[in-house]
A and B are shown apart, each in its own frame.
Chain A
Amino acid sequence: MLSLNAFLLVSGLLFAIGFFGVLLRRNTLVIFMSLELMLNAAILALVAFSRFNGIMDGNLFVFFIITVAAAEIAVGLAIIVALFRKRQTVMVEQLNSLRH
């Protein structure tokens, strides 16, 4: 059986990938996917902890996180679509009319 550390490593990697995806990718949709990846990293760690620590709260928490993520996606995609209609672009460097 895999050790807890293995799960945590994967989770940490996923989190880092997600974070650097947000940091480096230019397409808003991809950034958005990276954000979800970070949430998934948390979910994975949560489940792993829950399993290895023998405390079920974490499993329960996961359902809430999934729900929250779904809501976030729904709203987020709506904003991105509306913005694309308005500006004809979803690239972050072109979305900087609000500055200074």
Chain B
Amino acid sequence: MEGLSTLATVLLLVPLASAAVITLFFRRSGKAAEWVSVVAAGIIMVLAFVLIFAWSGSGSLTASIPWLVLGDFRIEMGFLFNAEAATMLAVVGFIGFFIHLFSIGYMDDDPAQGRFFAGLSIFMFSMLGIVLADNLFMLFIFWELVGFSSYMLIAHYWDKDFASAASKKAFVVNRVGDFGFLIGIVWAYHYFGTANISEMSALVASGEKDVVTGIGLLLMCGFVGKSAQLPLQVWLTDAMAGPTPVSALIHAATMVAAGIYFMVRIFGILSPFTLDWILWSGAIMTTFAGICALGQDDIKKSLAYSTLAHLGYMATAIGLGFPGLAIMHMAMHACFKATLFLCSGSVIHACHHEQNMFKMGGLLRRMPITGIAFLIASLSISAVPFTAGYYSKDTIIASAWGLFANGSGGEYLGAYILTVLGALFTALYMGRMFFVVFLGKPNSEKAAKARESSVWMTLPLIVLGWVLSLGAGWFVQPGLDGSWLGGAMTSLLPTHAVEFMVQGFGNDGWKAAHAVYEASGAGWVEWLNLACVLAGFAFTFFYYGRGPSADRLEVNHPAVFQAVERHGWFDDLYDWYVAKVQQRFADILGFLDIFLIAGLLVRGAAGVAGLTGTLLRSLQVGSVHSYVYWFLIGIVFFWIFAAT
């Protein structure tokens, strides 16, 4: 136990040390920064797995250190390590390392490598902090740090207007969510008398305290902001302005999933109403974002919408009451979504930063490793049977039906319909993307000259795409508990690893969800899913054709396309709000400001405060005599207290 908490501390400090070393010594030498950061990520991965195997699925592990001790008063900071933490740690460590590797290739021509890799290290530090934190305060600190590194990396190309605007947008939108989050934390602390996650859950489980809907909803604000759920989803697509490895690591695989992870951690203190809310917002997101993804020409933005949709699936799983399933889908999603982003990064890099899909085309022949990885990940994300995505995503959809069928409530039918539609749209936009980018003939000079990327970039694609997107779910095959194919799978890997794959991936959640589905006896659900996927691929193959140079939907039905492209006018609504409401308000304030400066105050719209300040200021007349009067007044004033 002692050893494990030391290990966890070291794990947490490695990326911090890396960031410090880079900032202090290697700001200008990109190569050195690169290696420091990558080696740190490698150490993190190794230590993460050492920790996971040492833990080996045995309940939850807690350790805490006094963070602040003053006499009787102490604040503890500690680690809570359990199944979801193990999964998240594996995802962050493993995928993080490969994305670091990929970055070596992707950022090779960037002048600000030092800043970029320092940012990645800070991100790893804060993300690990979120994974391990055992109380809400500590979690909030790392939550903010994660946000900070995210803005820093989004604004990597800060001299481009869209990048700095995007980071500003991410910042503002997240503030909205975090404000609610912070109030939720304070309320929770006040209500439970502790901010420790396991203690709070224990209080609820023992019936000592009831769940409070308000706390859950406020804490959910943080999740909604960070995981870009309705209605705060607007920042994520803009965040694609950052370098592609950042999009892969932060805005697809890990950070945005931190919101989900957080909701799973505090699952024990969520009220049924909160869960319903999460269910609806998640289910709606699966379809809504799926539609939006069809309206994007930019490959990264289209993938960003796909991320939103899949975060929606995870939220749905939580709302259905299967947090373990949500974590499992998070892990699977991290594999295939990181692959998709890295493939898009590889393509973008090869096409000299061309991001428009319709200017690519025919890349499968030129970049076979990338193309195959993309294909596998596309199948996986669409939940084609026996790929990684199938095990989690299909189970989410099926268990929604299962819950409706066993009479748990009408809302589960709604969730089922929306998620099935979401699956259909997944197949549609993934098919569109694959056929447009990789088949047919090149549509631009850049695409024609594209060549397969360097080994730094293809190695992660092979590991994450060819291997994990395909097989990450094979250990949870029904009923066999890791002994599928007569134990052939388990004999491939060390026992510890298998234990982790079964336990860590939230297998219990998966089993429970699967049992609900099995009980309903509706075998057609799975067939319908498969039909949707096949229909989606077939439709896009024939509708868009191979490697078109323009979007057929845009050409034939511009009105429809535009509606899809404007993704429900959310951005317009926000723009309108900022331009009309907020700006008017600011104008009024500005007018008051000027008015008051001219009239009463020196400056500031702080009314009474400014006025009082000015008055008090005028008392400092600079003459010693008047100051002595203050002393006289002071003694009289003190005497009043002493005499009464």
Binding site for B on A (CB under 8 A): 19, 22-24, 26, 31, 92-93, 95-100
Contact = CB atoms under 8 A, between A and B. Distances in A.
Contacts of B617: 100
Contact of A99 (B622, B625, B628, B632): B622
- The 8 A-B residue pairs with the shortest CB-CB distance, nearest first, are A99-B622, A96-B622, A92-B624, A23-B628, A96-B623, A22-B628, A100-B620, A99-B620
Given A93-B625, A99-B620, 6 more contacts: A23-B629, A96-B621, A96-B622, A96-B623, A99-B622, A100-B621
Interface in B236-267: none
A98 B628 contact: no
Contacts of A98: 622
A97 B629 contact: no
Contacts of B621: 96, 99-100
Interface of B: 617-618, 620-625, 628-629, 632
A15 B385 CA distance: 97
A31 B622 contact: no
**Which label, helix, strand, loop or mixed, suits the secondary structure of the B interface?**
helix
B628 A97 contact: no
Contacts of A26: 625
A93 B623 contact: yes
30 contacts: A19-B632, A22-B628, A23-B625, A23-B628, A23-B629, A23-B632, A24-B625, A26-B625, A31-B624, A92-B623, A92-B624, A92-B625, A93-B623, A93-B625, A95-B623, A95-B624, A96-B621, A96-B622, A96-B623, A97-B622, A98-B622, A99-B620, A99-B621, A99-B622, A99-B623, A100-B617, A100-B618, A100-B620, A100-B621, A100-B622
Contacts of A92: 623-625
A80 to B, nearest CB: 12
A92 B625 CA distance: 8
Nearest to A26: B625
Nearest to B618: A100
Contacts of B620: 99-100
A31 B622 CA distance: 16
A23 B631 CA distance: 10
A42 to B, nearest CB: 15
Nearest to B622: A99
A2 to B, nearest CB: 28
- Of B618, B621, B628, B632, which is in contact with the most chain A CB atoms at under 10 Å from its CB? B628
Nearest to B617: A100
A33 to B, nearest CB: 15
Nearest to A25: B625
Contacts of B624: 31, 92, 95
Nearest to B628: A23
Contacts of A22: 628
